[in-house]
C-alpha cells in the first residue's frame, strides 16, 4: 500500500483525477490523505465530495475552513459568500449522507510510525502533538454530536486570539478550530493574526509564519491552506501542499514514504 497526501482540492475534480492517474492510484491498494478543503471555489465541489467519500477507508481526511463553511451554511444558518460553489451540494439528493460523512472527519491526524501529523493549517509551536490530538478530539466530538448546530452557529470569529487552557465552551472550540484551519501568522506567545493572507515574508509586525517558531519535537507536519507559500517553507519538517490549484497554480500530491511530489498544472 502507498499513502499519498494531497493539498487543497477545492472542488477541482478533474485535476484530482488527473494527478491520481499519474501514480496509477487504486483504492484497493493505496490511500489518499487529504489536507483539508476538499470543496468550494472550484467547479465540481459535489463531484469531489462524492468521490472522496466513495473511497471509504482508502481516504484519510482532515477538515479545512471551506469544509467547515459548508457545514456552517447547512447547520448553522450562515449564508453563502460571494465566490462559494456549494449550492450543488446542498441541493443534491444525497446531501444528508454527504454532510454526515463530512462531520465524521478529523481536525488532525497523527501517524507515529512515520512521525508525522497532518492538519489543514498546521500545528502551532505552543502545542505538543499529544495536546493537539486531544484538542482536535474535543471539537471532533462536538461536531458529531447534538451540539453541532450550536457550534456551527457561533463558529466564526477571531476571538479569543490566543490559546488558554482555561477556555471553555464555544470560545474554546472556536480557538481550537482557528488554530487548525485558519492559522498562518502567529506570535511567540501563540496569539493568532487571522487577517493577513500574504506570503510568509510579509508578516505583520510582531508576528511570523507559524512554522518559523521551533518545536520541541521533530514531527513532520503536513498542511495545506496557504496557497501564497507556493509549496515552500523553511524546513523539510514542514510540508506545504496547497499550491493554488483553484487559483490557476497546481495540484500537488506527495508520496508519504519517499517524499516524491507529483503535480498537475491547473492553469
Q: Give the residue extent of every domain in the chain.
A: 2-265
> Would you call 120 exposed, middle or buried from its count of C-beta atoms within 10 A (0-12, 13-18, 19+)?
buried
Class of domain 2-265: alpha beta
User: Of 142, 4, 136, which Cα lies nearest the Cα of 60?
Assistant: 4
Distance CA 177, CA 135 (A): 9
**How far is the C-alpha of 254 from the C-alpha of 222, rounded, in Å?**
10
Whole-model pTM: value is 0.97
Assigned C-alpha cell, 65: 475552513
CA-based R_g, the chain, Å? 17
Q: What pLDDT, in 10s, does the model give residues 160-217?
A: 999 999 999 999 999 999 999 999 999 999 999 999 999 999 999 999 999 999 999 9
**Which residues on adjacent β-strands are paired with residue 152?**
none
State the Cα–Cα distance between residues 211 and 123, nearest whole angstrom: 8
At 106-155, the pLDDT tens digits run 999 999 999 999 999 999 999 999 999 999 999 999 999 999 999 999 99
- Per-residue model confidence (pLDDT) at position 1: 84
What contacts 263, CB < 8 A, 6 or more positions away?
A: 19, 243, 250, 251, 252, 253
The answer to whether 173 and 153 have CB atoms below 8 angstroms apart is no
Amino acid at each position: 500500500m502507498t499513502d499519498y497526501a494531497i493539498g487543497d482540492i477545492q472542488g477541482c475534480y478533474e485535476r484530482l483525477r488527473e494527478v491520481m492517474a499519474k501514480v496509477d492510484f487504486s483504492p484497493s491498494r493505496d490511500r489518499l490523505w487529504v489536507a483539508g478543503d476538499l470543496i468550494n471555489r472550484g467547479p465540481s465541489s459535489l463531484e469531489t465530495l462524492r468521490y472522496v467519500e466513495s473511497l471509504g477507508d482508502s481516504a484519510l481526511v482532515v477538515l479545512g475552513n471551506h469544509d467547515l463553511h459548508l457545514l456552517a451554511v447547512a447547520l448553522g444558518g450562515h449564508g453563502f459568500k460571494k465566490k462559494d460553489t456549494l449550492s450543488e451540494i446542498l441541493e443534491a439528493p444525497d446531501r444528508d449522507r454527504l454532510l454526515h460523512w463530512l462531520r465524521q472527519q478529523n481536525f488532525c491526524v497523527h501517524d507515529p510510525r512515520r512521525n508525522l501529523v497532518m492538519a489543514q493549517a498546521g500545528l502551532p509551536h505552543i502545542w505538543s502533538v499529544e495536546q493537539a490530538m486531544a484538542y482536535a478530539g474535543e471539537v471532533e466530538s462536538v461536531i458529531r454530536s447534538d451540539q453541532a448546530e450550536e457550534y456551527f452557529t457561533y463558529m466564526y470569529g477571531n476571538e479569543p486570539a490566543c490559546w488558554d487552557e482555561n477556555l471553555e465552551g464555544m470560545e474554546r472550540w472556536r480557538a481550537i478550530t482557528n488554530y487548525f484551519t485558519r492559522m498562518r501568522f502567529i506570535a511567540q506567545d501563540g496569539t493568532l493574526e487571522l487577517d493577513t493572507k500574504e506570503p510568509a515574508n510579509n508578516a505583520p509586525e510582531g508576528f511570523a509564519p507559524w512554522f518559523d517558531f521551533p518545536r520541541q519535537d521533530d514531527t513532520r507536519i503536513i498542511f495545506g491552506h496557504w496557497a501564497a507559500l507556493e509549496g515552500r517553507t523553511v524546513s523539510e519538517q514542514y510540508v506545504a501542499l496547497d499550491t493554488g490549484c483553484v487559483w490557476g497554480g497546481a495540484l500537488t500530491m506527495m508520496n508519504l514514504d519517499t517524499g516524491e511530489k507529483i503535480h498537475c498544472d491547473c492553469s
